[in-house]
Structure 1
Amino acid sequence: MVQLKNLYVPAGGGVSSAHLPRSLRSEEKRKKDAGDCLRSKSELQRTCSSVADEQLSVTTFRRDKLSRRNATPKQLRNPANCAPKLPPEVPNSRYVYGITPCTYAMELQQDVAALQQLVAQPQQLMLAGTLQRARALGGQLLQRESPRGRRGLFRRGSSLRKKPKKPPLKARSAPAALQLLGDDADRSPQAAATRFHQAAQSCAELATTFAKTSKFVFHVASVRRMHADLHAVGRQLALVAALVDAAELQPSGGTSWAQQLQDDRGQEEAQLGARAAKNALPFARDMRPHEPMEALTLLKYEIDFFKAENSARHVATMKKVFFSVVRSSNGRVAKIPDWYIPPNAVHYNRTPMRGSVGTAHRGVRVEWKPAERTQPAREGGQRQPERVVVKRLFIHADAIEMFRQEVELWFSLDHPSILKLYGASHCSRPALLVLEDAENGPLVNYLHYHRQLHADKRRWLKETDLRVYQSLQHALWSLLLQAANGLKYLHTEKKLVHSNLKSDNILVTADGSVKLTDFGLGMLALQNQAIEEVCFRELGWRAPNCQRESRFRRPSFQDDIYSFGLCVLDVLVPELSSISKKENSPPCEPKHVGDEGFDPLATNVLSRIKNDTHKDLVRGMCQKKPEDRWSLNIVIERMEEMCTAASREQECSIQ
């Protein structure tokens, strides 16, 4: 039998009148007389073959029956005219008389299949136990979504036999896991499947984050952090089990899952300690050139800052391994920098976002050093995870010291228009930068989105974030003025050249503040592009004198003015914007902002700026000779004047 949830069809043939309820046989006979059959054999066979492999929900045929009953004689001669309409955006093969795919059940199958593919190393006892528990819970969820017992075409069933009533359930207290949810929280099976999907994703991310634990030294340094992350996954699984009222997945012996996880940690530490006591081979064997320093930094980080959260036995193991690696690799670890963040302290999606300096990834920071816990304690003294952006850079080994210097400069900056650097991992490969998350993206994209909203007055009043400004142009110059003040802070107070200024590096946070980012990383960006063998496409944002000279020459303060002028032009002229580039554009059209060889002073470019004051600003900032360019103080004065003038206007469109 091929089962379509509520409809049973013989596997070897079509539907006959014997398979239909008695009330439907007379209806079928009447329609056969009219030349219209309820279903043809070939049609139903095609239907069954196309949907038999998917979990589909079948609605009743009442809608079909009513549509045929009310059909005209002309429609009855052509059965296709009275068939139910199918959604135009969905292929017809997925929709057959009201059959729709059960998406969340299919996603549940995919999550369980993904968990089956995750394999823990033999020494990873904690990870193996958590994966086993997640697979068992996923199996229970799949059983709940399996097809029900045999029923008729109608929802109330075709059988006249009454089922005995079930005794009322006794009132019981909610599981401890459900007490963490609010009264208005969604507790449906779909919500449980969503939370299970999040737990499965967490397992996959942890398997990637702790991939280096296959090597002994990294495993020793990661036991505490792995236990904390797996404990968080265990809480997610317990909540899913409570939502669907699944059987509590307790280990053998009646212990709780948390106690079993703690026991697995003890066994892991015992095995690692026994192997460290033998010391048959150097622990730094089979390591890449950069890995001994990374392992030593992780071990020292654990010993110095998290000694109290590790057992005395494991602390002794870490110290023994630390000195063994120092002797075998001739390595030396100085004091851990204040800005150091280990790679396993951030969880991030490996899918990269747009960026020139390495690759950018959204994620969360899950750990802080004890000295950084300045906020009120929550849930056992730990801070809540914080959304961050992680940048991965591939740099040469001899550039690590340069990277440290740039990170120390950035970490010391404190200005409302400078993107905050939370920390970095300098000895890992790739090197990591952990940054504040500017959720609204680049300023040019942010203003382009609000231009589109401004064209629709209803959407503008409902969705815009710029209500605090008098007009759209007032918002433009106010936001650019924030960027100019951030650049002034770098030039005057820190004597730091941005050297990588472009539209993608002027970002907007969730509260509408403008932040400069990626300053001082221009030379590291060149090295990153060279290592990854990708063409460096950022020369179009540099001043002409920087393009004629060596690529590795650090720009000057006046060169930052030129790059900032291109950013201003990028938002003033939407048709030449860097985000509106078209492939295979005609040669007669001017190049876009940021293209190599783009001339901001060309006649066909300046003619697109209708306001003479705006045109003078771009002309003064983008002079080819550095000595002819305006100073940053003059630029800020002109922007303040434009901002004041725009605030007096009620409505003004950006030209």
Structure 2
Amino acid sequence: MEGERNKLVFFEGGVYSFDLEDLLRASAEVLGKGSVGTSYKAVLEEGTTVVVKRLKDVAVSQREFEMQMEMVGKIKHENLVPLRAFYYSKDEKLLVYDLMRDGSLSALLHGSRGSGRTPLDWGNRMMIALTAARGLAHLHVSGKLVHGNIKSSNILLRQDHEACISDFGLNPLFGNTTLPSRIAGYRAPEIVETRKVTFQSDVYSFGVLLLELLTGKAPNQASLGEEGIDLPRWVQSVVREEWTAEVFDVELMRYHSIEEEMVQLLQIAMTCVSTVPDQRPTMPEVLRMIEDMNRGETDDGLRQSSDDPSKGSGGHTPPTESRTPP
């Protein structure tokens, strides 16, 4: 041990009371190996369960590490996974988070497709899109922090299917040397040249995440090429051929009267993945568009329940207004 400074540092408002020794004695199982390190589910002797992330290839000094973690630890929002504690020594850099028992969006969307699977329904996908947008907008506006690693494995779910975004604010720990290949989530095209993550590159990654919710396709599927880059291209090519319905996840086809909403969310996603960073909306604007959709959905429900003979038996009539997102 390297003196008193190398102890587990907790943030105020947390609910945990254990020390490093307790943590090292805990039984641990690997939850996942990611681009920044390995996550473990750790069960302490007195029964507390936490997630410990063991970071690899940290490229900053202890002081820089501590300052960045202090900044991350202060950020609190119901749709962001709070950092509860951290530990720094020459050989180990550990982060402690709450366990989100419902796992990641990635596992829920792509795990065990086929028989026996419970599909993620449209209402839950909309809830995830909305709450993830809230978390990311808060991070950008109040936290003034770029996430830098938005992808579905970093969107964790609470039991009410609200999204909680994890792994934010870690980019500065790794230096610029390896950034594009390692920790830029669904990579915006400009990152390859600039090697810098920005608010705009986060918006691009979030747009890819929306496309993932809509299409059911993992952006890093081999057929779609490089992480994140080719899902937007694939969607654009299908939409260009006017086969828009072909882009949507087959698991959503069982739900009626949602085509209009799916197209609206698709339009929001496509503005986010504009190849020109300045043409992308900000996260607060993206959030507003999704919230407006949700409000419209409630109004639609009222309209559709009225006895309107023009609706016929085929559900709803197509909208007459412009199909361009705000």
TM-score using structure 1 length: 0.38
Q: 2:193 aligned with 1:545, yes or no? A: no
Distance 1:393 1:601 in 2: 33
Query: What residue number does 1:262 align with?
Result: none
Task: Tell me by how many angstroms 1:518 deviates.
Answer: 0.7
Task: Tell me by how many angstroms 1:528 deviates.
Answer: 11
- Contact 2:146–2:198 (8 Å) recurs in 1: yes
- Contact 2:72–2:83 (8 Å) recurs in 1: yes
Query: What residue number does 2:204 align with?
Result: 562
- Contact 2:210–2:265 (8 Å) recurs in 1: no
Higher fraction of helix: 1
Q: 2:61 aligned with 1:364, yes or no? A: no
Query: What residue number does 1:343 align with?
Result: 20
Q: 2:105 aligned with 1:443, yes or no? A: yes
Task: Tell me by how many angstroms 1:365 deviates.
Answer: 4.3
Amino acid at match of 1:507: L
Query: What residue number does 1:634 align with?
Result: 285
- Contact 1:417–1:483 (8 Å) recurs in 2: yes
Among 288, 294, 299, the alignment partner of 1:643 is 294
Query: What residue number does 1:598 align with?
Result: 230
Greater CA drift, 607-616 or 475-484: 607-616
Distance 1:599 1:571, change over 3 A: closer
Query: What residue number does 2:145 align with?
Result: 496
3-state DSSP class of the match of 1:624?
coil
Amino acid at match of 2:188: A
Query: What residue number does 2:56 align with?
Result: 394
Amino acid at match of 2:207: G
Show the 5 A alignment for 1:47-446.
Answer: 291=1, 293=2, 295-297=3-5, 337-339=9-11, 342-346=19-23, 347-349=26-28, 351=30, 353-365=32-44, 384-396=46-58, 398-427=60-89, 429-446=91-108
Task: Tell me by how many angstroms 1:348 deviates.
Answer: 4.1
Larger relative CO (CA 8 A, sep 6+): 1 or 2?
Answer: 2
Query: What residue number does 2:135 align with?
Result: 486
Distance 1:527 1:635, change over 3 A: closer
Distance 2:53 2:112 in 1: 28
Distance 1:605 1:621 in 2: 17
- Contact 2:148–2:184 (8 Å) recurs in 1: no
Distance 1:540 1:423 in 2: 24
Distance 1:619 1:352, change over 3 A: closer
Distance 1:397 1:504 in 2: 24
Higher fraction of strand: 2
Flag the structure with larger Rg. Answer: 1
- Contact 2:37–2:54 (8 Å) recurs in 1: yes
Distance 1:525 1:364 in 2: 28
Deviations, residues 79-130 of structure 1 (Å, cap 9, x unaligned): xxxxxxxxxxxxxxxxxxxxxxxxxxxxxxxxxxxxxxxxxxxxxxxxxxxx
Task: Tell me by how many angstroms 1:526 deviates.
Answer: 6.2
Distance 1:514 1:352, change over 3 A: closer
Amino acid at match of 1:479: I
Query: What residue number does 1:144 align with?
Result: none
Distance 1:645 1:491 in 2: 26
Q: What is the Cα-based RMSD across aligned positions, in Å?
A: 3.5
Amino acid at match of 2:187: R
Distance 1:634 1:297, change over 3 A: closer
- Contact 1:479–1:514 (8 Å) recurs in 2: yes
Query: What residue number does 1:519 align with?
Result: 168
Deviations, residues 255-303 of structure 1 (Å, cap 9, x unaligned): xxxxxxxxxxxxxxxxxxxxxxxxxxxxxxxxxxxx5x2x4446xx6xx
- Contact 2:127–2:161 (8 Å) recurs in 1: no
Among 609, 618, 624, the alignment partner of 2:269 is 618
Distance 1:616 1:539, change over 3 A: same
Query: What residue number does 2:320 align with?
Result: none
Query: What residue number does 1:20 align with?
Result: none
Task: Tell me by how many angstroms 1:520 deviates.
Answer: 1.1
Q: 2:214 aligned with 1:572, yes or no? A: yes
Distance 1:641 1:451 in 2: 32
Amino acid at match of 1:490: L
- Contact 1:396–1:527 (8 Å) recurs in 2: no
TM-score using structure 2 length: 0.71
Distance 1:426 1:528 in 2: 21
Task: Tell me by how many angstroms 1:432 deviates.
Answer: 0.6
Q: 2:118 aligned with 1:477, yes or no? A: no
Task: Tell me by how many angstroms 1:394 deviates.
Answer: 2.8
Distance 1:512 1:616 in 2: 23
Deviations, residues 572-631 of structure 1 (Å, cap 9, x unaligned): 112x3247x35xx5xxxx437x34x42614533544257432331121111111211112
Query: What residue number does 2:157 align with?
Result: 508
Amino acid at match of 2:210: V
Deviations, residues 143-181 of structure 1 (Å, cap 9, x unaligned): xxxxxxxxxxxxxxxxxxxxxxxxxxxxxxxxxxxxxxx
- Contact 2:100–2:158 (8 Å) recurs in 1: yes
3-state DSSP class of the match of 1:544?
coil
3-state DSSP class of the match of 2:167?
coil
Deviations, residues 518-538 of structure 1 (Å, cap 9, x unaligned): 1111243568979xxxx9354
3-state DSSP class of the match of 2:123?
helix
Flag structure 2 segments of 5+ consecutive residues without an equivalent.
Answer: 12-16, 249-258, 306-314, 316-326
Distance 1:566 1:605, change over 3 A: farther
3-state DSSP class of the match of 1:620?
helix
Distance 1:342 1:428, change over 3 A: farther
Task: Tell me by how many angstroms 1:436 deviates.
Answer: 0.9
3-state DSSP class of the match of 2:33?
coil
Task: Tell me by how many angstroms 1:504 deviates.
Answer: 1.4
- Contact 1:341–1:424 (8 Å) recurs in 2: no
Task: Tell me by how many angstroms 1:642 deviates.
Answer: 3.0
Distance 1:345 1:513 in 2: 31
% same residue: 26
Query: What residue number does 1:27 align with?
Result: none
Deviations, residues 428-450 of structure 1 (Å, cap 9, x unaligned): 52211011111222223324569
3-state DSSP class of the match of 1:512?
coil
